[in-house]
Structure 1
């Protein structure tokens, strides 16, 4: 564990620092998932994952669940439209224990954050909220021209001061070649094994919904368990209603009683009143 002071001037321990991640580039493969609750963060830590990432609104709970994992906080694009909004949220996130800040915004926002020495994760490749410019949700880098333009976008983010990048659904060979040439720490989400980090959303990893993107493999089946819980909940409620209506609930073991003598005294007083 590395000893650090966080942005709230609190002594903390981290599995990795930003400097470590830079040293690992091209040498050691790391694994990242999302965490947006104390339980999700704790599960990621218990499973030995290296890095977690989640929405800024959940930062306090996530840091409580995984006090030592390198944690990237995402600043939602539509909720923070101005530069002041972004900077305020970034400082709050770092105060709440974040180790880096993610933004899907352009180089001007990356530069804004980097000037404050905040480790910034940008987003390149398929950025779902901007998918209209790509003709919909699809892989990026399928032509030489598009792959070259993507490489230039990496360079622009480097120049703006980005520290890392969420590289989403980029053609695998293009991703591998770019990752070797960029200084950015590349977190591959559906972009093959050529990135520095292999990243997958926790809800996809755990199989929490029946449908998932092509790149996402389920390593569990929480959806089936959730359906069982859903069914069991309704069965229990129906059984409760039936028991309450028929008098089967509550029985003598589920109620408190008064002694006969005390009850007789109570009844006498009640009758007199």
Structure 2
């Protein structure tokens, strides 16, 4: 049973979390699909309203990734993520965005059993979040499920190569496709889910030659993460890109150092409180 409110009225004139939106038209799945071979698609992860507001003007898509397991909840991997987590964070990101198409990861265990299970859970996520699409991991095995969903009005983004939800089988997060057999499997997986109706495919953690081959062979856009600049777009975990963690994968380029800024600001605040230089007269109400 969902715990989300049936209605929610936002006072955009007074709420710091919901400022008046800028007038712009949200990107649609068909428009994203049409970008194949054109201007590269920009996607970043988002998990909160404020994060969505800051990223939205610069992105074509915002991914509510199950990476929130590590980023938000401090879990060791994505296997423990629940539908409730994805629904709540997905709804927050939709409320905070007005331009980007929002895609929500379906968590491990929510779609593998049958196409019918996948439809019920995907429909729930779209209803409760207002997102444009869901993302599923897997290749040929999951292709019939993708076809089932797309034929019933649920846009699906695929995900091949390094699939984090399969970490227990893969034995870690190493680069995929080093053997000829595995490389061929990854390419075949991407072709299968593209033909099943996926509107885009994330290619993660593979040798560059594999990503280039997939991009050339499938009809929908490819979104690289640890793949190739020749993909039709790129995605990163925002917190990695912004320097929130000490350790990041090889394929991440840091565009900021927010961890240092957070720590420095907290230290300055703590020092000011302890020496009673905060609050000053500017932060105090007088009668």
The two structures have a TM-score, normalised by structure 1, of 0.76
Distance in 1 (CA, whole Å) between partners of 2:117 and 2:88 is: 14
Computing the radius of gyration from Cα coordinates, the structure with the larger value is: 1
Matches within 5 A, 1:183-262: 183-239=219-275
Distance in 2 (CA, whole Å) between partners of 1:158 and 1:80 is: 18
Please tell me whether residue 92 in structure 1 is matched to residue 124 in structure 2. yes
Change beyond 3 A, Cα 1:255–1:143? closer
Residue number in structure 2 paired with 1:35: 46
- Deviations 1:216-248 (CA, angstroms, capped at 9, x unpaired): 1110010101111332344345446xx9xxxxx
Residue number in structure 1 paired with 2:59: 49
Residue number in structure 1 paired with 2:143: 107
Residue number in structure 1 paired with 2:162: 126
Residue number in structure 2 paired with 1:5: none
Per the TM alignment, residue 194 of structure 1 is displaced from its structure 2 partner at its CA by: 1.8
Indicate the SS of the match to 2:34. Answer: helix
Distance in 1 (CA, whole Å) between partners of 2:186 and 2:25 is: 33
Show structure 1 runs of 4+ deviating over 6 A: 254-257
2:100 to 63, 69, 84: 69
RCO higher in 1 or 2 (8 Å CA, sep ≥ 6)? Answer: 2
**Runs of at least 5 residues in structure 2 that lack an aligned partner in the other structure:** 1-22, 65-85
1:139 to 154, 165, 175: 175
Indicate the SS of the match to 2:43. Answer: strand
Structure richer in strand, relative to its length? 1
Query: Does the 8 A contact of 2:160 with 2:201 survive in 1?
Result: yes
Structure richer in helix, relative to its length? 1
Distance in 2 (CA, whole Å) between partners of 1:17 and 1:187 is: 16
Per the TM alignment, residue 187 of structure 1 is displaced from its structure 2 partner at its CA by: 0.9
The two structures have a TM-score, normalised by structure 2, of 0.72
